Amino acid sequence: MLGRAVVEAATRRGHDVRGHARADLDVTDAEATRQAVAAAQPDAVVNCAAYTDVDGAESDRQRAEAVNARGAGHVAAAAAEIGAFVVHISTDYVFDGSKREPWVESDRVAPLGVYGETKLAGERAVAAADPRHAIVRTAWLFGAGGRNFVDTMLALGAQRDEVCVVTDQVGCPTWTGHLAAALVELAERPGEPGVHHIAGSGSCSWNELALEIFERARIDCRVLPATSDQFPRAAARPAFSVLGTERRDALVLPAWQDGLAAYLATRVAV
């Protein structure tokens, strides 16, 4: 989902882009990754590969670690070998959600589950492998080409008169189209390494996001309030994972509502 958007954004900006789908390149294979990066000789590598099944990771730590931790290190090491700048995508799930104000880059990390733990391990593997790196924590992604909350709500709204959605998880919905453009811009700025928080501006609960989706899509479906306790999941989610930034050079995305409107417009166009 995100990788496709990055390829499109980089192409629009005039870059020579080589995108690798999972079928083309398995980042858990260190040698294959090294060879692919060496063959391309890029100035920058944007690593969008991830194991993103938050609940599945609880019972499949080995696979999550292979992709999110070791795979991330393989990509960064391959980039370092040829002197390329690496942009690595991480997550708001490295935080425990205990704050009630936006999380900034220097805040203490304390993931609640295996997914967050393996993504944090990936951050550390990238930093250790390539000093020329940017780690981008983002959140609540939606866009073309992958499973996401917006598409799920649109499908449910077409089938049901009402849905129950939680009010006690708050974050930053982020359209891949907006994030991809920022990632390409960051890849063009290797003088700004370190951790970056980049997500849709503003925040909302999943319940508020569902309301906005139905209103903008003109779907007549009621959204009822619920709590996370009513929907037990294998993995705990951070209650408050709104991302802020303390960087002076921060890349700021448009409001999450603008991202939602833009994504819905692309769905209508298709």
Catalytic sites, residue numbers: 115
Tell me the three state secondary structure of residue 46. strand
Q: Most distant CA pair in the chain: distance in Å? A: 56
Q: How many Cα atoms within 13 Å fall on the side-chain side of residue 52?
A: 17
Look up residue 66 and give its DSSP letter. I
99: exposed, middle or buried (C-beta count within 10 Å: 0-12, 13-18, 19+)?
Answer: middle
Straight-line distance from the first to the last Cα atom of the chain, in angstroms, rounded to the nearest whole number? 16
Which residues make Cβ contacts (< 8 Å) with residue 95, sequence separation at least 6? 103, 107, 109, 110, 111, 116, 238, 241
172 phi, psi to nearest 5 deg? -120, 95
Q: Nearest-CA neighbor of 225 among 157, 162, 156, 164?
A: 164
Amino acid 37 reads: V
Are the beta carbons of 175 and 262 closer than 8 angstroms? yes
CA distance 134 to 194: 5
